Structure 1
Amino acid sequence: MDNVKVGTRASWISIGINLVLSLLKLAGAILGKSTAMLADTVHSLADIVTTLVVIIGLKISNKDADENHPYGHEKFESIFTKIISLLLIFTGVSIGYKGVVDSIRGNLSSPGKIALIAAATSIIVKECLYWYTLMIARKIKSTSMEADAWHHRSDAISSIATFIGILGARMGFKILDPIAAILVCIIIVKVGVEYYLKAVKELVDHTASNDIIDRIKELSSDIEGVIKVNSLKTRIFGNKVYADVGICVDKNISIEEGHKIAETVHTTIENNIENIKHCSVYIIPN
């Protein structure tokens, strides 16, 4: 099964589970009269939207190169990662705003037991979804799906804060319910900002990691006929890497021999480094 199908199937599973969980949370928020649980419900509903964005992003970013996009569509995934990040930030700010307003106005109540049960269920379900989505994201090397996994983790953490807030409010500390909503806001916004910056980094042609650079140099230097790697430029393109390698070869060999050495370097790098999408090699007589 290809990466798009694997990622899409996992995303639809996530949507189905989130939909059921959101309905449970909404019932807990309304029947249990909990501001924190209502905030947590909004977070879960946002998860459904972001997962839909992931599905769209996976399909577009994995399209083959065409006339208008000769280098492929990988950067579209970074764009969708930015969209998810902005949704996370918006969700967090919205939740925090309601928590602050309720605290100031004194809209405090003692939540019902159903809200506590909904929060506990959410913690377990969302943590399981986090590990499942992260496993798939790393398997298919999808940054937008990884961001969605952290969306699940942030929801699990927010549900912990919600649980504590509801429990405290039921014990008589009613202010803890809106305070929990504010804590949820901070957690969500932090994750959103981190993934937004990560997406920006991918879109501005940042250089590849030192591990990849060192691996390229090592593989190139081991090829017979390569005297040394004279220059190396890399750039991140979505979740893939482009590399331009300049190798020094004996100036006395023929053009055909030099071309064969360059071809060997090209093939070796592309076959042995998984994230490399394309490697250009040019020779420098030495």
Structure 2
Amino acid sequence: MEERLKRAYGSYEIPDEILQLHQLDADLQKEGLSLANIGFKPSATFAPYSISPPDLIPFAETGGDGIHFSFLTDFGQVKDLRHAPIVCVTPTNDPPIRLMARNIKEFFNLASSVPYVELLEPCWACTSEEQIQHECDLFMKDSPFHWAKGREKVLQRFKETFNTKQIEVHAYLSAIIRERETEIAIPTFDTLGVTGAKSDSYLRFKFDFDRTSKVEEELPKMHEFLEQATKEEKLAFIRDANMRYVVAPGYDELILDLLVDVLQSIGLKEEASRMMARE
């Protein structure tokens, strides 16, 4: 595993499941196969998209359109990544941030319940199990026979390695999204929200969505808000600003600098480091 990817985990211990995932992929490659055959390649580097919240740690990618899967640490509230929610980041789609599973074990069940893991991205928006089955049937129908054989072999090895079980995808996704909504203290544009005790007193910064507005004109208002904001309100601000702007070098750099400063000021140095790693 590349050193840069290890740094993305920071103080977190890398879960055994992730180490097993890398080992399985290495074993498959010796046979001329790969977890890429099922659209689920272990991440070999850390190069976060600007749309990625800073409390995500990526662990696998599909190989298509930048779609990848990450642990959600809820800004350090999760102490053990084995219990961290799993999020799909799909940069070219709407919404780009999608809650996928309660934890890594349940995510592997979800991943093995479709013929190709990238299908979870379109399946997330399906409104019934029948729609999901239709997506899977179309994929299977369009798969060349020689390629399908390799995919089926890899999927079987994945199921055996992690002892996964088949689940109903739509029912599971609907349940975890409802659960998350009950845990959110402050809703945010990325749909993840800030977890904690609910209160009517929380405030959110009112972003100007006029595309002609200038960051320089908004910054004084942001500083004024942040000076009075609680920790939870600051975290919600970070999530919202990350969705409102292109927070990356060469784009909205003033916002990037501001968010890094806010993260560092509340002791979230690893999250600040991940944000500074954007290219």
Range into which the TM-score falls when normalised by the shorter chain: under 0.3
Q: Considering only CA atoms, is the larger Rg found in Structure 1 or Structure 2?
A: 1
Q: Which structure: greater helix fraction?
A: 1
